[in-house]
Amino acid sequence: MKIEVIKIGKPTTEDSKSLVKMYITRTKVLNPIESIEYKDLESLKSRSKAIFTPGQWVVALDERGQEWTSPGLSQQFKKWLDNPAIKSVAFVIGGPYGLDDEIRKKANGIWSLSNGTLPSDLAWIMASEQIYRAFTILKGMPYHHG
Each domain of the chain, given as residue ranges in start order, spans 2-138
Cα–Cα distance measured from residue 78 to residue 99, given in angstroms and rounded to the nearest whole number = 26
Q: What is the pTM of this model?
A: 0.94
Report the CATH superfamily, name and number, of domain 2-138. SPOUT methyltransferase, trefoil knot domain (3.40.1280.10)
| Burial readout 124-142 (b: 16 or more C-beta within 10 A, e: otherwise) | bbbbbbbbbbbbbbbeeee
Pick the closest to residue 35 from 22, 45, 21 (CA basis).
21
**Per-residue pLDDT for the chain (146 aa), expressed as one digit of tens each?**
999 999 999 999 999 999 999 999 999 999 999 999 998 888 877 766 667 889 999 999 999 999 999 999 999 999 999 999 999 999 999 988 889 898 899 999 999 999 999 999 999 999 999 999 999 999 999 999 97
113: which DSSP letter?
S
Cα–Cα distance measured from residue 27 to residue 133, given in angstroms and rounded to the nearest whole number = 9
